[in-house]
Amino acid sequence: MNKAKRLEIFERLSEAIPNPETELNYSTPFELLIAVILSAQATDKGVNIATDKLFPIANTPEAIYALGEEGLKEYIKTIGLFNTKGANIIKTCKMLIDLHHSEIPDDRKALEALPGVGRKTANVVLNTAFGHPTMAVDTHIFRVSNRTKLAPGKNVLEVEMKLLKNIPKEYLIPAHHLLILHGRYTCTARKPHCGACCIYDLCEFKEKTE
């Protein structure tokens, strides 16, 4: 795929999705971090149901740490892997209090040192909370990148590196959410809505279906 086609793809996606942003509910970088940790192997809708109850009660490292694992689990027990996620969140809150003055670090290495925070979660926080040109490759972005041939790769890291290289500079920050939302609602896994796709004629998917 050439440079001109990649630019056209993001110009059209930006027109179709004028306000690309996460569908997780949050109001602070800390709330975003907790929501993203909870979102692993879970839907944003399911996470929002839990955090809409949790955050009015506890939305700081100190407040969630004070709940303890058992107290926290009462709010997140509807989310998959809640036992592991609850334990990691409590440990993360403790580290934020002890090492970062209860602030979310604007730094990849420090973020990835937090329990339950891997490269993808760190990329989401860096991009969404701090405006870094990072690319968190989830299942939607992985699928869209390979299907369109925008950034084909065998694993998420390969796709991430190709996207950072291939995406036009002016779209590096919004590209994360543009691709997620396009994959979530148009370029879906089983039956992509090719007939409603704004980049249909630019896509290099060989098995296009109307």
Known catalytic residue at 120: yes
Is 210 in contact with 193 (CB distance < 8 Å)? no
Indicate which residue of 77, 94, 120, 201 is catalytic: 120
Helix 119-128 crosses helix 175-185 at what angle (to 10 degrees)? 110
Indicate which residue of 3, 44, 52, 138 is catalytic: 138
31, 132, 135, 150, 173 from 2: Cα distances, Å: 39, 25, 20, 9, 20
Instruction: Please report the sign of the dihedral spanned by the C-alpha atoms of residue 113, residue 24, residue 62, residue 79.
Output: negative
CA torsion angle 72 76 77 83 (round to 10) = -60
Known catalytic residue at 52: no
CB environment 142-155: b (16+ within 10 A), e (fewer):
bbbbebbebbebee
Which residue is listed with tokens 């040192």? 113
Catalytic residues: 120, 138
